[in-house]
Amino acid sequence: MATRSLTEVFILMRNNALQSRHMFSEHVNDDRMALVSNAASDMEMGSINTKSSRLPPEWVDGVEEVQYEMTKIKTKMKELATLHDRHLNRPTLDDNVQEEHAIEIMTQDITQMFTRCQITVQRISHKGNHGTEQEKRLAKNIVSSVARSLQDMSLNFRKTQSDYLRKIKSREERSREFFDTNIGPSSGSFMEEIEPFEDEFDKGFTSSQLHMVEDNTVHVKQREKEIAQIVQSITDLNEIFKDLATMVVDQGTILDRIDYNVENASVQVDKGLQQLQKAEKYQKKNRKMLWYVSGASSQSCHQGWTYFQKSCYYFSDITIDWINAGAFCQVHHSELAAIETQAENAYIESEAANNDALFVTNPGGYWLGGNDSVTEGVWEWTSTDEVFDYTNFAPGEPNDANGGEDCLMTSSVLNGKWNDGICSDNLQFICERM
Q: Has residue 35 got a pLDDT over 50? A: no
CA–CA separation, 371 and 387 (whole Å): 10
pTM: 0.36
Q: What is the mean pLDDT of residues 13-41?
A: 53
Look at residue 253 in the predicted model and tell me its pLDDT: 64
In a domain, 76, yes or no: yes
Q: How many domains does the chain have?
A: 2
The band of 180, judged by pLDDT with boundaries at 50, 70 and 90, is low
Q: Kindly state whether residues 222 and 330 are assigned to the same domain.
A: no
Is the distance from CB of 386 to CB of 371 less than 8 angstroms? no
- Give the pLDDT confidence score for residue 368 in this predicted structure: 93
Residue 279 lies in a domain: no
Q: Is residue 361, in this structure, part of any structural domain at all? A: yes
**328 with 322: CB under 8 angstroms?**
no
Percentage of residues in the chain having pLDDT higher than 70: 73
What pLDDT band is residue 56 in, cutting at 50, 70 and 90?
Answer: confident
Whole-number pLDDT of residue 338 = 92
333 lies in the same domain as 227 = no
pLDDT tens for each residue of 72-131:
999 988 988 888 888 877 765 455 677 788 888 888 889 888 888 888 888 888 887 887
* pLDDT number for residue 8: 75
Residue 227: inside a domain: yes
Other CB atoms within 10 A of residue 48 CB: 13
Q: Do 245 and 343 belong together in one domain?
A: no
Angle at the Cα of 107 from the Cα atoms of 104 and 112, rounded to 5 degrees: 125
Whether 167 maps to a domain, the answer reads yes
Task: Return the number of other C-beta atoms located less than 10 Å from residue 247's C-beta.
Answer: 21
Q: Which stretch of 27-41, 62-76, 342-356, 378-392 has the lowest confidence by average pLDDT?
A: 27-41
Same domain, 299 and 230: no
The residues that bridge with 143 in the sheet, in sequence order, are: none
CATH number, domain of 11, equals: 1.20.58.70
| Sign of the alpha-carbon torsion through 236, 239, 243, 246 | positive
Residues of the domain holding 243 = 7-19+53-182+207-254
CB 89 within 8 A of CB 62: no
* Domain membership flag for residue 2: no
Residues 6+ apart with CB under 8 A from 299: none
b/e map 181-196, b = 16+ CB within 10 Å:
eeeeeeeeeeeeeeee
User: Which residues lie closer than 8 Å to 121 by C-beta, 6 or more apart?
Assistant: 62, 66, 143, 146, 147, 150, 244, 247
Give a yes or no: residue 226 inside a domain: yes
Domain assignment present for residue 322? The answer is yes
Choose one of 254, 277, 310: the last residue of a domain: 254
